[in-house]
């Protein structure tokens, strides 16, 4: 059984990845997480005592601590998800994003390079470093066009600029130092364990509390929605079957306007948990001032990963959102726990769309 070191394993995508690997006995997991606002061990409570799972609280910027973790556990694979990932927060405070996403990735690459050089030839042949990134590094699309692995970078926010920088560092460590890396750029994720300040949970939780559901601008921004359980299966495909030095774009083939997503969630809530006070949760939709630098449209061409690794999303848009709404309705205690009892969601993080 391979040992996988996962950074950010207590976050949204990370916790879903840990669940996939352990529940299907695909690998042993070393989960390294700083446990910032979006990382919560509550998301991993059900598997925390599984054999083959260990947790280490650590900051990826802490060279000494991360080096000791590599030496102690001797991982076969590294899956790097740890990042500051919230667009709104990056606008309010860019410095933390530059530190974690750029310098943290640099630190992890250097430690991995030194570790890789110490391995024997057989273990070197199997070692891989997978950097999980975002489609936001490509900037904004108009009404036509699509992102793929050859799209030029054009980041528009401090968050996407920091992720673009980390992508470039990862490629540089492949070409300069021969570290066997891979990069994935994914579209918008949704599903279980997403931090409750993000778009989908905000809609659900505000609706249930009878509060306004805020929508930026006119809600015309378009995103390609990817169910997180499909995404983590793709990540495992890439790191076990992909080619070193390659980039793979991962998308859900589900382009939707934000306002249509909001209305669909309201409709699902009307069906699953109808309000006793209003006819429809959609009556709570409120349009608010648009976010600075808000990209109009993202869309992913996932042909490469389909052709090379035989991966396609298994979950339809309707299935995924029905599962997601049901999960939040069944796990309101989890939401309260990770929010620390806070019921009012602040503007920071109010309508963020990423992990």
- Banded pLDDT at 349 (limits 50, 70, 90): very low
- Banded pLDDT at 343 (limits 50, 70, 90): low
Residue spans of the domains in the chain: they are 3-191+226-253+296-315
Q: Which of 38 and 120 is assigned the larger pLDDT?
A: 120
Q: Which of 316, 198, 218, 314 is nearest to 263 (CA)?
A: 218
Tell me, what's the pLDDT at 352? 40
Contacts 24+ apart (CB under 8 A), 308-314: 308/242, 308/243, 308/248, 309/234, 309/237, 309/238, 309/241, 309/242, 309/248, 310/237, 311/233, 311/234, 311/237, 311/250, 313/226, 313/227, 313/230, 313/251, 313/252, 313/253, 313/254, 314/230, 314/233
Is the pLDDT reported for residue 209 higher than 80? yes
- Banded pLDDT at 144 (limits 50, 70, 90): confident
CATH number belonging to the domain at 3-191+226-253+296-315, selected among 2.30.110.10, 3.40.50.720, 3.90.1300.10, 3.30.930.10: 3.40.50.720
Mean pLDDT of 104-131: 98
Share above pLDDT 90 across residues of the chain, in percent, rounded to a whole number? 83
Is the pLDDT reported for residue 226 higher than 60? yes
Is the pLDDT reported for residue 114 higher than 80? yes
Is the pLDDT reported for residue 355 higher than 60? no
- Banded pLDDT at 329 (limits 50, 70, 90): very high
**Residue 23 is encoded by which pair of tokens?**
């529940």
Give per-residue pLDDT as tens, 237-272. 999 999 999 999 999 989 999 999 999 999 999 999
So which residues are the catalytic ones? 135-136, 159
Is the pLDDT reported for residue 213 higher than 80? yes
Is the pLDDT reported for residue 197 higher than 90? no
Share above pLDDT 70 across residues of the chain, in percent, rounded to a whole number? 96
Tell me, what's the pLDDT at 348? 42
The C-alpha atoms of residue 127 and residue 114 are separated, in whole angstroms, by: 13
Give per-residue pLDDT as tens, 53-78. 999 999 999 999 999 999 999 999 99
Give per-residue pLDDT as tens, 166-181. 999 999 999 999 999 9
247-250/181-186 β-pairing: parallel
- Banded pLDDT at 86 (limits 50, 70, 90): confident
Give per-residue pLDDT as tens, 283-299. 999 999 887 778 788 89
**Residue 322 is encoded by which pair of tokens?**
């029905």
DSSP letters for 45-71: GGGTT-TTEEEEE--TT-HHHHHHHHH
């Amino acid at each position: 059984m391979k040992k996988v070191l996962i950074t950010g394993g207590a976050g949204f995508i990370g916790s879903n990845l840990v669940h996939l690997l352990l529940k299907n006995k695909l690998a042993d997991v070393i989960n390294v997480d700083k446990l910032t606002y979006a990382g919560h061990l509550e998301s991993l409570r059900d598997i925390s005592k599984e054999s083959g799972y260990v947790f280490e609280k650590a900051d990826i910027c802490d060279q000494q601590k991360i080096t000791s973790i590599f030496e102690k556990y001797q991982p076969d694979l590294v899956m790097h998800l740890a990042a500051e990932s919230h667009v709104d927060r990056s606008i309010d405070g860019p410095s933390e994003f530059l530190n974690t996403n750029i310098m943290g990735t640099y630190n992890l690459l250097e430690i991995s390079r030194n570790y890789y050089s110490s391995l024997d030839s057989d273990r070197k042949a199997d070692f891989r470093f997978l950097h999980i990134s975002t489609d936001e590094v490509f900037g904004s699309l108009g009404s036509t066009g699509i992102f793929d692995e050859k799209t030029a970078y054009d980041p528009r926010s401090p968050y996407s600029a920091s992720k673009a920088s980390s992508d470039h560092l990862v490629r540089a460590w492949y070409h300069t130092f021969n570290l066997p890396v891979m990069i994935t750029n994914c579209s918008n994720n949704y599903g279980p364990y997403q931090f409750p300040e993000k778009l989908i949970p905000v809609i659900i939780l505000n609706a249930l509390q009878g509060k306004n559901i805020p929508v930026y601008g006119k809600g015309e921004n378009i995103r390609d929605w990817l169910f997180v359980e499909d995404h983590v299966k793709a990540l495992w495909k890439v790191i076990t079957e992909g080619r070193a030095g390659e980039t793979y774009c991962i998308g859900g083939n589900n382009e939707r306007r934000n306002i249509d997503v909001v209305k669909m969630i309201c409709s699902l809530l009307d069906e699953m948990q109808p309000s006793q006070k209003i006819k429809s949760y959609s009556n709570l939709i409120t349009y608010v001032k648009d976010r600075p630098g808000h990209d109009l449209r993202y869309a992913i061409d996932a042909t490469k990963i389909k052709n090379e690794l035989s991966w396609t999303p298994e979950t339809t848009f309707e299935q995924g959102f029905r599962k997601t709404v049901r999960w939040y309705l069944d796990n309101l205690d989890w939401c309260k726990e990770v929010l620390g009892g806070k019921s009012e969601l602040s503007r920071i993080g109010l309508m963020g769309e990423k992990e």
